[in-house]
Structure 1
Amino acid sequence: MECSFCGAEIPKGTGKMFVTKRGVVYYFCSGKCEKNMLKLKRNPRKVKWTAAYRKEKEARLKLIEKDKAKVKEEEKKEKVKEAKEEREKKDKKGKEESKKTEKK
């Protein structure tokens, strides 16, 4: 069994079980978790020491890494494109100059 708030494993013979009027069952490993959930009404995803927070943070970091990789890839493509355009301009200028020298 694991804690409904922090996600920690609850050893047998310890912890508390809380049943709401609606019939929802919560298991708590400590008074700290019980107080945060029931009295302070905190969201486990916003409390840094909970497993739910860590899981969400990991997902956020993966998205950020993917976005950074995409941005780097796009920048690289743009640089390659610009380099190709510059080469083409130089080639055109070189051809025009060679034609002018041939005419003289």
Structure 2
Amino acid sequence: MQYSYALLDTRTHTQFEMVHFPEAVNVPTAQLMKQDPTQVIASLHGVPTDAIAAKRTFVICRRGVDSVKVTRWLVDHGIQNVFNVNGGYTEYAMEGGVDPTFPMY
């Protein structure tokens, strides 16, 4: 399925395998910060680097701490239309989200 946005999940691979949204793409924070941010975002969206400005990217983690760091890092590197998911998966689960059976860990 093609989405109009990308959801970047910055948790570890182990946490990602426990639970994640179907559209999420997992690139752990430590691995992500060693890469070229423009290439990462272009790859997430499947577009050339000169087309990423028009794409929306949401960054999520377990509690919203690493995702804030990654969002700031992306913005500091000139990436536009990038948004942090406040509170991460924990907040989503606590609020009931769209799926009340969404597990907390």
Bin the TM-score by the shorter chain. Answer: under 0.3
Hey, which of these two has a bigger chunk of strand by percent? Answer: 2
Structure (1 or 2) with the larger CA radius of gyration: 1
Q: Which has the higher helix share?
A: 1
Q: TM-score, normalised by structure 1?
A: 0.21
Where relative contact order (Cα < 8 A, 6+ residues apart) is larger, the structure is 2
Per the normalisation by structure 2, the TM-score is 0.21
